[in-house]
Structure 1
Amino acid sequence: MSGNRSQVIIQSKRPPLSSAAPVKVTTPSSVNYHFTRQCNYKCGFCFHTAITSFVLPIEEAKRGLRLLKEAGMKKINFSGGEPFLQQKGAFLGELVQYCKQELQLPSVSIVSNGSMIKEAWFQKYGEFVDILAISCDSFDEQTNQTIGRAQRGKSHVENLYKIQSWCKKYRVAFKINSVINTFNVHEDMTENITGLNPVRWKVFQCLLIEGENTGENSLREAEKFVITDQEFQDFLDRHQSIKCLVPESNQKMRFLDCRAGRKDPSKSILDVGVQEAIKFSGFDEKMFFKRGGKYVWSKADMKLSW
């Protein structure tokens, strides 16, 4: 599901081969599905910008998900863009319900900026979601405004705390994603992260992707957000007491940088099937495991106290 369609990033594993099986088969155990590129935020470092407004019809999206399940997918992560923009979350809700009820996937997760999530959505679809990750790069509102992760007149941080409380109420594992850049690299987030107590705090180093957030035809110019490897390490050292921290340096994120610093789409799985499309995905199995790609995915296995 890529090209001028929605984008799938496959995080997979190759099983051991026997002498009777000379052909390697890649199993897409974990898949990121970017079904929309549209977003209501303007984060200056974003490397998945809205170059198209195309969204697959719901039945085609479901067909692609079923193909992935049949190929071995165990975890699906819905992202964007902002996934709650499409039909005010109804499109996403139908997909997470389909993945849990029909496909019986062990793990269904979402990455969102949180700005459009309502409690009514949790009431209707919360039972079908294992993990909800909210992107938050700073606990200083002015810094969020500078980065572009904000809406005028609304507090991103206050909304983050509200969503955390809904996750607890409706039994959805709560996660935080942060992109470390020149505007937040010296911030100490220990107190807030500890108070929010996410199951995972994914910390990314700001990354340049040709054609997305850097280069002649890009919609973003992220160069001013880039930090050095040492600055990123200093940030990690400052937060080493936080046990749920999962770092993603640029070296670890290179599985996204498939060809010469770009994210080139593969052929669509709807046209050529999963295994044929995977051949063009640029997947790095060793890096998948090194970056902690396999972890406890299902909320049923997390032993959380709600």
Structure 2
Amino acid sequence: MQLSSVSPKLLLQLCISTIHCIFARFFSKVCSWTAGARRGSASAVSAAADSKPNRSEDQDATTPTSVNYHFTRKCNYKCGFCFHTAKTSFVLPLEEAKRGLKLLKDSGMEKINFSGGEPFLHEKGDFLGKMVQFCKQDLQLPSVSIVSNGSMIKEKWFQKYGDYLDILAISCDSFDEDTNQLIGRAQGKKSHLDNLYKIRTWCQQYKVAFKINSVINTFNIEEDMTEQIVELNPVRWKVFQCLLIDGENAGEAALREAERFVISDQQFQEFLDRHSGVSCLVPESNEKMRNSYLILDEYMRFLDCREGRKDPSKSILDVGVKEAICFSGFDEKMFFKRGGKYLWSKADMKLEW
């Protein structure tokens, strides 16, 4: 990115956010020292808890109604706040992935969402397409969806796999190209927004419900996106508060330094208030996000984010869904409270194509 091509206002934002990052990292260290002391004093309690018997066999296990499968971590974008970074290049063989998806279906899964990384990057989207087709055609899942940055999607993918896809969500954090460049949601000089509008047209043409995801951060917090969102008319506009995950976008082992992107709860609420007239807006604060998603990593392990990091369970391929999900940290009540279950099959949406 050439800073000379960026507006003075955005350069000022960059300087301010960098200063904010320095202070945030300092306080993060202080908090980690404090947390370490707490963990030490709580070790006896933890040991006592470990000696307690497991949940009774007759108690119902959590149902994986909706699962987010991040089957690849590789991505062609470098979004500064990314909370699932390219720490490995591993992707399960297709037949193993299908075996895991069937285990999830047999355990009650109704919706699968494929994500990354960038899911269209691996085998130019063909691997993803085969999983989408398997989930809809073989497993007969009510809803199959994808989250993508949109940069790798071609029309021929829709021609081959569009019938099997219910929802395509494209991540877009700003309707200003300079802001997208600063965030890292870009590849060279290609226009992220041109791709967004092109994919919107394809979704309409091939009867796939169109959705937009936006991460609200220090660079777009003042933006008013009402006009563009109304024009694009997605079925849902998911608006996330920028979230720190230790080991992913914060901390010494992280591949990103997202502290400079973090906004306060009040700032997030002000953004929501500014867009309160947008009927498709679905807000998700840090509190709602942290433990209300069932996330599978590239090894098909559930990720527990309750402690501000991603602690993996054993793989469902090794121990089954019922045992692995006990270590997911998933809060089923919060999932339903945030509206995690909605009208997610395109057959039921009654959209005007």
**1:222 is the counterpart of 2:258:** yes
Computed over aligned residues only, the root mean square deviation of the Cα atoms, in angstroms, reads 1.2
Matching residue within 293, 298, 313 for 1:266: 313
Match of 1:297 in 2: 344
The one-character-per-residue Cα deviations of 1:40-80 (angstroms, maximum 9, x if unpaired) are: 00000001000000000000000000000011111000000
- Equivalenced residue count is 287
The 5 Å alignment of 1:44-193 reads: 44-193=80-229
The two structures have a TM-score, normalised by structure 2, of 0.80
User: Of the two, which has the highest radius of gyration?
Assistant: 2
Q: Higher helix proportion, which one?
A: 2
Match of 2:279 in 1: 243
Unaligned runs of 5+ in 2: 1-56, 294-303
Q: Give the distance between the partners of 1:291 and 1:67, measured in 2 at CA.
A: 26
Q: Give the distance between the partners of 1:162 and 1:28, measured in 2 at CA.
A: 34
The one-character-per-residue Cα deviations of 1:150-186 (angstroms, maximum 9, x if unpaired) are: 1112110111000000000000000000000000000
The one-character-per-residue Cα deviations of 1:94-117 (angstroms, maximum 9, x if unpaired) are: 000000110000100000000000
**1:34 is the counterpart of 2:81:** no
Q: Give the distance between the partners of 1:87 and 1:54, measured in 2 at CA.
A: 13
Query: How far off is 1:26 after superposition?
Result: 1.6
Q: Give the distance between the partners of 2:307 and 2:146, measured in 1 at CA.
A: 28
Unaligned runs of 5+ in 1: 1-20
Residue identity (%)? 79
Query: How far off is 1:266 after superposition?
Result: 0.8
Match of 1:13 in 2: none
Counterpart code for 1:238:
R
The question of whether the paired residues in 1 share the 8 Å contact of 2:290 and 2:306 is answered with no
Match of 1:18 in 2: none
The question of whether the paired residues in 1 share the 8 Å contact of 2:62 and 2:332 is answered with no
Match of 1:282 in 2: 329
Deviates more, 1:195-204 or 1:280-289: 280-289
**1:204 is the counterpart of 2:240:** yes
Match of 2:268 in 1: 232
Q: Give the distance between the partners of 2:190 and 2:213, measured in 1 at CA.
A: 19
SS of 1:209's partner is coil
Q: Give the distance between the partners of 1:106 and 1:207, measured in 2 at CA.
A: 30
SS of 1:202's partner is strand
Match of 1:4 in 2: none
The two structures have a TM-score, normalised by structure 1, of 0.92
Query: How far off is 1:258 after superposition?
Result: 2.5
Q: Give the distance between the partners of 2:305 and 2:265, measured in 1 at CA.
A: 21
Match of 1:23 in 2: 59
